[in-house]
Amino acid sequence: MISNINQIGILTGGGDCPGLNAVIRAIAKTAIMGYGLEVIGFIDGFKGLVENRYIQLDLRKVSGISHTGGTVLGTSNRDNPFKYFTVSEGNVQHSDESDRAISNMHHLGLDGLIVIGGDGSLNIANQFQEKGVNVVGVPKTIDNDLSGTDVTFGFNTAVNTASEALDRLHTTAESHHRVMVLEVMGRYTGWIALHAGISGGADVILIPEIPYKIDEIIKKISERYRQGKNFSIIVVAEGALPEHGEIVIRNLVSTSHDPIRLGGIGNKVAEDIGERLKNIEIRVTVLGHLQRGGSPIPYDRILSTRYGVAAVEAFMDGKFGTMVSLQGREITTVPINDAIKDIRKVEPDSALVKAARSVGVNFGD
């Protein structure tokens, strides 16, 4: 253990996620109670780091927050200190403010930084590590797309939210003999759609890793109607795409370091089905940010707590440039470089996909 560490900073970057407050609480309590450290929390992610906006986290400030959604520190998915944007006279300008951020850390007497985020935030964290800042990462994303860990916190709560939505859609679909399309988040991976679709009894699951053919979806719906099943449930990941087609982009945010915003594939699928099956009513539900909000389920509260404790322990052991990771049942560390070099995708021939096919799920292929 390193003995000369006295104060650490933490921040939450990227989109919000159930379990963030549980991680913040675990980091602060472990650092203060276990090692006698002071903990500084930066407001609104890397934006607070650049603008030197922070609060001191003590035991009182983190008391009773593990069950709450969101993040008490605030977050931002637009602010990259290495390409920091400002607006002057209506014009967007970018500049490298990383040295300013490092200067703020030095001025506060910080011995390093724990970054809680997904691949974008951890990529920024890795750049700070390369500039000499002591960094430890914590894997956060509802998309579950970070390589280097079996599960990211927030994912299972998002799946739970989507599954509950499917339970409700199921009853109204059956009552009105409709095709119900549920669009879920996940970016370029289908983890939420796959897990929620299986748990929610979906008939069709469309994910980016298996490009779909609309004719195969039509076949599945028509087959169900011939069997007297006058409704169908379709789960669509926001990054799903037709064979030989492209993903649907809702809009571009020029001020963000990740400017692409996906969305709209659910409506496209519904329109394509409606053009071929004109006698069937189709409805689309876009779950959107409901998947990010609300209290974390117990699994994510526990995982977040384990991650927070492990992050402080890794920091005190001098394991800088690493991300805490769940491997099987154990929490370990992996280099941040390894965690961000690839997007963790669903394997089309995985056991879970095969199990879904065995119970009649159609993937549009």
Each residue of 145-172: pLDDT tens digit?
999 999 999 999 999 999 999 999 999 9
Is a pLDDT exceeding 70 seen at residue 315?
yes
Single-letter amino acid, residue 296: P
Strands (E), the chain: 7-12, 38-42, 54-57, 84-88, 91-95, 113-117, 135-139, 179-184, 204-206, 232-237, 249-252, 260-262, 282-286, 322-327, 330-335
Residue 290, phi then psi, degrees to nearest 5: -60, -30
Instruction: Give every strand in the sheet of 330-335, ordered side by side.
Output: 54-57, 38-42, 7-12, 113-117, 135-139, 322-327, 330-335
Put residue 148 in one of left, alpha, beta given phi > 0 → left and psi -120 to 50 → alpha. Answer: left
Mean pLDDT over 17-32 rounds to: 97
Residue 162, phi then psi, degrees to nearest 5: -65, -35
Is a pLDDT exceeding 90 seen at residue 15?
no
Are 178 and 172 in contact by the 8 Å Cβ rule? The answer is yes
- Give residue-wise pLDDT tens across range 38-50: 999 999 999 999 9
Quick one: pLDDT band at residue 247, thresholds 50, 70, 90? confident
Are 152 and 118 in contact by the 8 Å Cβ rule? The answer is yes
- Tell the residue number behind the tokens 């292929």, with chain if given: 365
Mean pLDDT over 172-186 rounds to: 94
Quick one: pLDDT band at residue 255, thresholds 50, 70, 90? low
- Kindly list the structural domains of the chain, giving each domain's residue range(s) and its CATH number in brackets, ordered by start: 7-153+296-340 (3.40.50.450), 156-292 (3.40.50.460)
Quick one: pLDDT band at residue 100, thresholds 50, 70, 90? very high
- Give residue-wise pLDDT tens across range 266-279: 999 999 999 989 88
Q: What percent of the chain has pLDDT over 90?
A: 85
Mean pLDDT over 127-144 rounds to: 96
How many whole angstroms separate alpha carbon 48 and alpha carbon 229?
Answer: 54
Q: What percent of the chain has pLDDT over 70?
A: 97
Put residue 274 in one of left, alpha, beta given phi > 0 → left and psi -120 to 50 → alpha. Answer: alpha
Q: Which residues are catalytic?
A: 143
Per-residue pLDDT, 249: 81
Is a pLDDT exceeding 80 seen at residue 261?
no
Q: Are strands 91-95 and 84-88 parallel, antiparallel or unpaired?
A: antiparallel
Query: What does pLDDT average to over the chain?
Result: 93
Beta partners for 115? Answer: 11, 137
- Give residue-wise pLDDT tens across range 336-358: 999 998 999 999 999 999 999 99
Quick one: pLDDT band at residue 78, thresholds 50, 70, 90? confident
DSSP letter string, 264-314: -HHHHHHHHHHHH-TTS-EEEEE-GGGGT-SPPPHHHHHHHHHHHHHHHHH
How many whole angstroms separate alpha carbon 209 and alpha carbon 347?
Answer: 7
- Helices 298-316 & 20-29 angle (0-180, nearest 10): 40
Cut 0.85: pTM above it: yes
Exposed/middle/buried for 222, CB within 10 Å: 0-12, 13-18, 19+?
middle
